[in-house]
Structure 1
C-alpha cells in the first residue's frame, strides 16, 4: 500500500539530560528534514509542549526530577497530548521496565547506546503510523459527521411524519432527504470495500512476516504478544462486517424513505402495495420497539399474492402511516395512567396486517388490526370527521383519519371501514380497485 507523503515538516521533541545525546540526535533528525525541539528534564518538556505540540517525543527514562515514566504518565493523562507517540530511550535492558513503559502508553523503545540508522528508521515508522492514524481518524470523523447529520435529518423527518398528519405537504421533502443521504452512504460503502481490501493485504503481509521472522527477532515476538496479534486478526474482520451491516441498514432506510414519499401527486402509476406497507413499517420501526414501560409491539404480516394496482403511491403510504401510527398511539395510551399496566402487559401487543385479492370484483383489500383498548361507539362514529380528535394538546392535529378517508374515497374511489370494540381492539379495512 502506498503511504501518502507527509506534507508538513515533522516536529520531534528530544528529552534527555545529556547534552551530547541531544546534539547527536538533533543533527541526525535535522538531516532528514525534520524539526527538533529539546528539553533536559520532564517538567520543562511538559511546559514546552503546552506552547508547541510535537509530532513525536523521544523520551529518556533516567532524568533528574520526574523520570521518563512519570513524564509519560502526565502526557497520557492530558487530552491535548495523550495521542502524541512516545518512544523511550534507555540504557536499561530489563524487560520489566520495557513492559512498564509500554503499559503507560509508549509506542516503542530505543536502547542506548543507539545507532543513528536504527533511530531514524524507528522514527520514520512511527511518524508514518501516527500520520495514517490521524488521517484515518479525521476521515472517520468527517464521515461520522456527515452520517450523523443525515441520521438527524432522517429522524427529524420521521418525527414530522409521525406527529404531523398533514403529510401530503412533506412528500417532496422526504424524498429529497432520502436521495441526499444516498451520496454519503455510497461513499462510505465504496470506502469500506477498499478498507477491507487494504486490511486483508496488511494481514497477509503480517502473516508472511511472521512466517519469515518468527524465530529470529525477539522484539517482534514481544510486540506480537503485547498487541495480541492473534485476537486482532480474528476481531478485525468482525468489525468490518459490523460496518457493512450498518451501511446496509442505512440503505434500507433510504430506500424506505423514497418508497414512502413517492412524488406522483399529478398522475396515477402502478404500485405494489406491499412495498408501501413495508416502507411505512421501516419508518415506524423505532416506535414498535420496547419503550421501557410499554413492551414491544409485534407486527404480524399475512400478505396475499397481490398484483400492482394503479394509484397514487405517496398518498396511500400516508394512509398506512396514519393508521399504523394511531395503533401505536393506542398501545402507548394504555401506559399513560399506570392503572392497567399489568393487565395490558400480560397480553402480547400485536398489529396484524393482511392483504387479499377479490378476482371477481377486481379489488384488493388491506386489513390493519390492533389488539389495543379499542374505541367506544360514540368515538368510532366520528373518527373520519376533520373537526374531531381524541388527542391531547400537542399530540397532533387529529386530521390523520380525515385525510386518509379523503385519499381512499375521493382520490381512489375506494372504501375504508372501521370496526372497533372497546377494550379489545380496532380494525381498518381498505378496499381499492386494481
Structure 2
C-alpha cells in the first residue's frame, strides 16, 4: 500500500496540479510533506514497537495511513491535500520501520541479506502497478481515486496483520528519550525547511538562514545530550559500528538522487516529452521489472565481489544513469527510453539491497530498534531532500516559467545535477575495507 501510494501519486501529479489550479513544477509539497512527517516521527517507531508490540503498532500504522488517504481524496485545495498527506505520514512513519524491525528480530543476521532481498519483492508490486494504474485512473476517472484505492488495500492489511503479524517486543523497555526526540526532530525539521526555503525561495533568505542555524544548533544539542543520556534516542555507540556508520552516511547521500527520480521522471515524461498519463505510467514499469531482476542476483553479486567493490561501482553507475536522462529528447525512440529506465531499476535496486544490509547486519538485539529507526529516518530525509532539490533545480533552470518542449533544457540540467549528487556518495563507500563485510572480515573463499 505504501509503495503503491507513492508511485501512483507521482504519475498523477500533473493532473492534480491542473485540477487544483497549481503549476506541476510546484507540487513537490505534496511529496515532501509526507516524507518529512515520516522522517520526523520515525525516531519514535522503535520505542513504540518495543513498548506496545509490533502487531499493535503495525495495525495503528495501517489505520492512520488509510485515514490519511481518505482525507487526501476529499481535499478541495492544495493546503488541505498537504494536511492529508501529513496524516498519511503519521502512519507511514510506523509502517516500514516496524515491519523491518519484525524481520530483524525474526531472522538470524547471517540470513539478513537473503531475507531483505526476498521480502522486498512483494513490496515492488506497488511500483509495478502504481504508475500505469495512476495514469489510467486520472484519464478515465479523476485523481481522487489514486487515494481511494488505498482503502480496500488497508482493510485487507488490517485483517492479515491481525492474523499473521508476530507480536514482538524488546526484552528491555527503557524510558522514551523525550528530550532527545524533541531536539532531534526540531533540528531535522528546521534544517529541511531551511534548505527547501533557500532552494525554492519559499521564505526570505534571512528566515532560511535563521532556520538553518537554529536547526544545526538543535542537532548539536542532541549530540551533546546523547553523549550523556543513559538511554538516548539514537546512542552514539551506533557509530562505533564501522559498517553501520558507512551504510548510514552512504544512504544519506546516495538516496538524494534515487529519491528525486520518482518525482522527477513522471514529470519529465508528461510535461517534457508530452506523454499521456497512462503512457507515462506504463513507461515506469521497466524500472520495477529491473528492480525485481536485481533481487535475484544481488546476494550472489555482493558475496562474490564484496560490499566495497559493488557499492563503489554501482554508485557510479547509478549517478551516470541518472545523468544519462539529459540525453533523452522528444526524438528519442520510446524503446530506448524503456531500456534506460529498466537499467536504472536494476542498478537502483542493487544499491538499496547492498546499503541496507551493510547498515543493519552488525546490529545486535540491543541496538536493532534504534539502528533500524535511524536508518529509516535517513532514508526518508534523504528522499525528501532529493525531491526538494530536484524541484528547486527545475525552477532555477526555468526562470521564465516555460512549458512543454521549451522545458526540456531545464529537465536535462536538473538530471545532470542530480546524477552528480549521486556520484559523490561513491567516496563514502570507498572507506570500506577491500574485503570488509557486516559479519567481519570476508571468508577466505570469498576473498579468493
TM superposition score normalised by structure 1:
0.22
TM superposition score normalised by structure 2:
0.22
Structure with the higher fraction of residues in helix conformation = 2
Structure with the higher fraction of residues in strand conformation = 1
Task: Flag the structure with more relative contact order, 1 or 2, with Cα contacts below 8 A and sequence separation at least 6.
Answer: 2
